[in-house]
Amino acid sequence: MAKSFFTDQASRLNIMAKAIFALFMSFSILSAPSFAAGTYDAPAKTKEVKEHASMTLAKTALSKEDYSAALDALAIVITDEPDNADAWNLTGFSHRKSGNYGESKIAYEKALTIDPKHKGALEYMGELYLTLGDLPKAEELLRRLKNACSFFCEERDDLKKAIKAYKKENG
């Protein structure tokens, strides 16, 4: 009796899952530390990075769309941590949502100077360019996002959707 299409697909998925698991396990075994006498060093304790308290306040304000409060909190983060690309990105986002496009662009550029592959800043700056009617610059940022992203990338997908919507709306 012939297998149904769905049974055949399920069988293929099962085989793929087992292959991926086997591959994962082989990498785990190969990368495991050696326990031979004198060759194992316990891993150093990693220092937990605690988020700046004002960053937490900024995110809470952003969740309430209170961009003014977010900007106040982010200014504190940036004063304390001037190389915090996430804070600069959220500053750009808050300015953009407030209609301060010039300040938004400056903040995104700062985030991208700190981290040229910052996915959030690439996406949001692309959306800023769409707001300003600059499709070529938005598409350039999408290309940069494609290079910065791995297989699953929400930022790339969101900017791609925004560009598609922009093209549909603007011919």
- Mapped onto helix, strand or coil, the DSSP state of residue 126 is helix
* Ranges of each domain in the chain: 50-115, 117-171
Q: What's the sign of the alpha-carbon dihedral 140, 109, 116, 128?
A: negative
Q: In the predicted model, is pLDDT for residue 4 greater than 80?
A: no
Q: How many whole angstroms separate alpha carbon 157 and alpha carbon 139? A: 12
Torsions phi, psi of 42, nearest 5? -60, 140
Amino acid 108: pLDDT:
97
* The two three-digit tokens of residue 79, written as one number: 């004063």
* pLDDT tens sequence across 101-135: 999 999 999 999 999 999 999 999 999 999 999 99
Tokens 């982010």 sit on residue: 74
For the beta carbon of residue 100, count every other beta carbon within 10 angstroms: 16
Please check whether residue 40 is in contact with residue 72, taking contact to mean a CB–CB distance below 8 angstroms: no
Q: In the predicted model, is pLDDT for residue 96 greater than 70?
A: yes
* pLDDT tens sequence across 135-169: 999 999 999 999 998 889 999 999 999 999 999 99
Q: How many whole angstroms separate alpha carbon 161 and alpha carbon 102? A: 24
Q: What's the whole-number average pLDDT of the chain? A: 83
Q: How many whole angstroms separate alpha carbon 132 and alpha carbon 170? A: 12
Amino acid 124: pLDDT:
97
* The two three-digit tokens of residue 26, written as one number: 């082989």
Confidence tier at 97 by pLDDT (50, 70, 90): very high
Amino acid 37: pLDDT:
42
Confidence tier at 76 by pLDDT (50, 70, 90): very high
Give residue 70's identity as a one-letter amino acid code. A
- Mapped onto helix, strand or coil, the DSSP state of residue 149 is coil
Indicate the class that CATH gives domain 50-115. mainly alpha
Amino acid 34: pLDDT:
41
